[in-house]
Amino acid sequence: MGLRRHVELGLIGAAFACSGFAALVYQLVWQRLLFGAIGVDVESVTVVVSVFMLGLGIGAWLGGWLADRHPRRIVALFAGFELGIAACGLVSVPVLLGLADTLALLPRIGAGAACFALLLLPTVLMGATLPMLVAHAAENRAMIGQATGWLYFINTLGAALGAWCMAFVLPYWLDLAQIVHLAAALNLAASFGALLAVGRR
């Protein structure tokens, strides 16, 4: 593997680490917003965890489907999905805050279904990113396992750092809206980094 390919994959990895950091930040911010809307209990935690699992699963299928049909445009699609995640993240705080009083008045199952519907799109976009980058990073079928493991590690490392920062750093310096702006900036950085990587070709 040449130097150019190493640099390209390094940029792709950095982009995916930023994406993982942002995803965990969104998850924890949304969880805190739901605590204020429908209460601090197992139901609100279940809503966020369930929508993340479903969204990531649907997104993984979608990302694989797109990778098979648009292999030459897959990094551009990844960049577009990252922009979509940033847009969803930016509107999520005012939307959830604006609906907090309404959600509090709904029956618990109705409030949970509404939150589920609001958060499904961004989680689908998040789930699609891994198979997209695997399709790009794997030069052939024999390297799919290696590419998957490496990208999953990088993404998980970014997510772990995001979780740590949400526990010990960010809430002490920023409010929830500012934290989401930071996460959206990381999505923008991931989008730009991925395009820069393939732009080197």
Exposure class string for 94-129: b at 16+ Cβ within 10 A, else e: eebeebeeebeebeeeebbebbbebbbbbbbbbbbb
Question: Is the alpha carbon torsion for 136, 142, 143, 146 positive or negative?
Answer: positive
**DSSP letter assigned to residue 71:** G
Name the DSSP letter for residue 18.
Answer: H
pLDDT at 38 over 90: no
Digit-coded pLDDT (tens) for 43-99: 778 888 888 999 999 999 999 999 999 988 999 999 999 999 999 999 999 998 888
Residue ranges in the chain assigned as alpha helix (H): 3-38, 42-69, 74-98, 100-105, 108-137, 144-168, 170-173, 176-199
Total tally of structural domains belonging to the chain: 1
pLDDT tens for 138-164 read: 866 667 888 889 999 999 999 999 999
Sign of CA dihedral 167, 169, 171, 172: positive
Greatest Cα pair distance in the chain: 60
Strands (E), 48-158: none
Domain span including residue 181: 3-199
Beta strand spans in 39-97 (E): none
**For position 179, which CATH number holds?**
1.20.1250.20
pTM for this predicted structure? 0.93
